[in-house]
Amino acid sequence: MAGNNTSLQGKFGIIIGGSGLVGGAIVHYFKKKWGCEILAPNSKQLSIRDSEDIRGFFQELRPDFIINSAIAAIDSNPKISFEINYLGTINIAKVAAALGIPYIFFSSAAVLPEGENLTEENHRPLRPAMSNYAKSKLMSELTLEHLRKTEGLDHTVVRLAIVYGKHDHKIQGFHRLLFSVADQSMPMLFTGRNVCHSYSNAKKIPYFLRHILLNREEFSGQTFHFVDPNPVRLAQLILTIRSYLELKRPREMYLPYPVARFGANFLKKAIKQLIRLGIDARMPPELMFLKNFYETQTLSAKKLKSSSFVDSFPNESVFTQLPEVIQYYLTRWEQLNLIAAYDKEFFDPQRLSEEFLNSPETLLADIHADRVSPFSAFRTDKQ
Ligand SMILES: NC(=O)c1ccc[n+]([C@@H]2O[C@H](COP(=O)([O-])OP(=O)(O)OC[C@H]3O[C@@H](n4cnc5c(N)ncnc54)[C@H](OP(=O)(O)O)[C@@H]3O)[C@@H](O)[C@H]2O)c1
């Protein structure tokens, strides 16, 4: 792809993992907003676990780029993690190298140790004891670099931290945290007072990808942390969610890590017993990250900032997005009967539902007089 192009219009891209949180946002922007021709097979149409499937799929296709945001379930066994997260990633990289096209791969903060302001050069040493997820991500990063040197692969690794945004249909990561507060299953704070993490805004990712696809000379062969510039204190985030939901729990008490670990181990044993009795029970997969709730890990955004990419939404952060995100998920979880119904006015920032319920005439008058603006702005130009 030429370095001085300014548009992806007319380009044909393949997005693997397009039904996921990150992939879904990319498909939406690339296809609907930027007029790109996109093919986003689901895992039944193309399972990247199967190299024959990959070969068959790409036989006839000549894409201009490939984006891989597929990932096995976080608690998958070593075989599935290895085959999807590593072998699948590398087999697709080989297709991209053979076709001479850019390949964008998502990695994760899981490859990094704890610490502050970690840079793209940092990563944990590859060790057997790493989680299957972290191990497969780190191995992928290292093999992609190897393929760049040996087969001329034109790739970019985008390392994400905790991703927030709408349309996560699995309730994992950040949205699991939100869920635990909403269904009041978090009695107190499972973190330390000053523990901070980095966050990635799902909505901004497509803008970055578009930019790096149009500027291969600058971004080829590089790894970037794609994170909001300011780290977030986990306790502050949980308490802010609590206050939006007008709840009393979790209490502002910090559960020490040894106690939390003891509780998690106890739960693990209890679940084993239940399974022996034939009762279907599972550990919440996020409990494998329990230690991370007690350790600061922040990613440096310096390299991203000094690149030619310009953030179109510099003031957006997980805090500014919370009302929108909460409203989306509470509605969804209520409809799925996953949580008890919330009073809509709790998370209706303009309190319009309350007006609708109690004083529709005033609401209508306010709308017609432009005192409130509940409608979306429709534009015909594509951004
Ligand atoms: N979410 C986060 O907080 C976070 C944090 C750091 C890094 N990341 C990285 O960001 C990327 C996207 O994550 P996500 O949160 O969007 O994941 P996600 O919501 O769990 O989506 C996973 C996607 O992978 C696809 N997939 C699974 N197995 C597949 C297979 N065998 N063949 C083809 N596709 C398969 C799924 O397709 P089907 O639905 O069709 O099965 C789904 O579209 C991943 O690389 C992840 O490591 C995410």
Check residue 351 and give left, alpha or beta (phi > 0: left; psi -120 to 50: alpha).
Answer: left
**E-strand stretches of 115-181:** 115-118, 155-160, 162-164
Residue 256 shares a structural domain with residue 215:
no
Mutate to test the pocket of ligand 1, among 16, 22, 137 (most ligand atoms within 8 A of CB): 22
For strands 232-233 and 196-197, give the pairing. antiparallel
CATH number of the domain within which 213 lies: 3.40.50.720
Residue 219 shares a structural domain with residue 257:
no
Residue 62 shares a structural domain with residue 126:
yes
Q: Is residue 275 in a domain?
A: yes
pLDDT tens series, the chain, 383 aa: 644 446 888 899 999 999 999 999 999 999 988 989 999 999 999 999 999 999 999 988 999 999 999 999 988 899 999 999 999 999 999 999 999 999 999 999 999 999 999 999 999 999 999 999 999 999 999 999 999 999 999 999 999 999 999 988 888 889 999 999 998 888 899 999 999 999 999 999 999 999 999 999 999 999 999 999 999 999 999 999 999 999 999 999 999 888 888 877 887 788 778 787 787 777 666 677 788 999 999 999 999 999 999 999 999 999 999 999 999 999 889 888 888 776 555 556 566 767 777 788 888 988 898 888 777 666 555 54
The amino acid present at 351, given as its one-letter code, is R
Q: Is residue 184 in a domain?
A: yes
Residue 250 shares a structural domain with residue 375:
no
Residue 257 shares a structural domain with residue 110:
no
Instruction: Enter the tokens of residue 163.
Output: 């991703």
Token pair 């309350």 is found at 354
Task: Name all residues whose Cβ lies below 6 A of ligand 1.
Answer: 16-17, 19-23, 42-43, 46-49, 69-72, 84, 106, 108, 160, 162-163, 170, 173
Q: Is residue 306 in a domain?
A: no
- Tell me the backbone φ, ψ of residue 159, rounded to 5 degrees: -90, 125
Residue 204 shares a structural domain with residue 193:
no
Residue 268 shares a structural domain with residue 375:
no
The amino acid present at 159, given as its one-letter code, is R
| Atom number in ligand 1 closest to CA 164 | 3
Residue 109 shares a structural domain with residue 190:
no
| Atom number in ligand 1 closest to CA 17 | 43
Instruction: Enter the tokens of residue 99.
Output: 């076709």
The Å distance, Cα 379 to ligand 1 centre, comes to 31
Residue 140 shares a structural domain with residue 32:
yes
**E-strand stretches of 80-177:** 103-108, 115-118, 155-160, 162-164
| Atom number in ligand 1 closest to CA 105 | 45
Residue 113 shares a structural domain with residue 184:
no
Q: Is residue 311 in a domain?
A: no
Residue 92 shares a structural domain with residue 204:
yes
> Within the chain, how many helices (H) and strands (E) appear?
15, 14
Q: Is residue 367 in a domain?
A: yes
Q: How many CB atoms lie within 10 A of CB 204?
A: 21
Q: Residue 113: which domain range?
A: 12-161+200-228
In this prediction the pTM is 0.88
Q: Is residue 6 in a domain?
A: no
DSSP tag of 345: G
Residue 114 shares a structural domain with residue 248:
no
Q: How many domains does the chain have?
A: 3
